[in-house]
Amino acid sequence: MPRVARPYHHGDLRNAFISEAAKLVESDGVHALTLRELSRRLGVSHAASTNHFADKSALLAALAAQGFEELAQEILRAPSGRSPEVRLRELGRAYVRFARRRPGHFRVMFGSELSDPAPTHLAEARARSLSTFREAVVAAMPEGRARSPQRIREAMFLAWAVVHGAATLILDGRLVPQLLSSVEDTEPLEKMVEHAIGVVAAEIHSGT
């Protein structure tokens, strides 16, 4: 018995909605994300999503939570065997790499469309990925009194500002044409990111 072209049951519509949402945000921006457009793209009636998401904000929260989980994984996966400074650089690379690989997730995670307050699972996933980031930054700092609360805050802020700014400018296409001839011009971009991350990692590691 041959499989019908469009089975009544989708199979994994929940995840299909999430990943299609990420694609849509990546190509058209958060403001273009509607449940009806997603349903259209998935070839499903526009009421189908209610079986998987209570409402639109639940879908956004699921997408963001998935993003924070993956970001934490990405950070944890950064090689830790080598020197703290190298590890810190890996951390920064991981953040920017994540943003570039999952631009739709990133935009929603750090956009303003999420409902406030965030549902528990999202708040937890976010807190978890930030803790992971924080721990990696602290580990790269010199020991002793250089790890005062003040110093830690400054290091965190510096590291976060650089990687977040880099990711944001890249995703939003701000570097073209002033700093980059085109978005495909990936090699000079890598060099700029490497340089910025290197400066920050060296600074934090030396702990001046």
Residues in contact with DNA by the rule CB under 7 A: 7-11, 13, 33-37, 39, 44-48, 50-52, 55-57
Among 30, 42, 48, 86, binds a second copy (CB under 8 A): 30
Q: For residues 112 and 178, which CB has a smaller minimum distance to DNA in the complex?
A: 112
Q: Please name the amino acid found at residue 188.
A: P
Burial call 76-89: b when 16+ CB within 10 Å, e when fewer: eebeeeeebbbbbb
Q: Which does 163 bind (CB under 5 to 8 A by kind): a second copy, DNA, none?
A: a second copy
Least CB distance from residue 193 to a second copy, whole Å?
A: 8
Does residue 123 belong to the site contacting a second copy (CB under 8 A)?
A: no
For a second copy, the binding residue among 154, 182, 186, 190 (CB under 8 A) is: 154
Cβ count near 8 (within 10 Å) = 5
* Minimum distance from residue 98 beta carbon to a second copy (Å): 15
Residue 176 binding partner per list a second copy, DNA, none, with a CB distance cut-off of 5 to 8 Å that depends on partner kind: none
> Applying CB under 8 A, does 59 fall inside the site for a second copy?
no
List all residues 6 or more positions away from 145 whose beta carbon is below 8 Å from its beta carbon: none
Binding mask 125-144 for a second copy (x = CB under 8 A): -----x---x----------
Query: Which amino acid belongs to residue 73?
Result: Q
Distance CA 191, CA 193 (A): 5
| Neighbouring residues of 166: CB distance < 8 A, sequence distance ≥ 6 | 96, 193, 196, 197
Asked whether the CA dihedral 175, 191, 109, 140 is positive or negative, the reply is negative
Verify binding: residue 174, a second copy, rule CB under 8 A. yes
Nearer to DNA, 8 or 117 (CB): 8
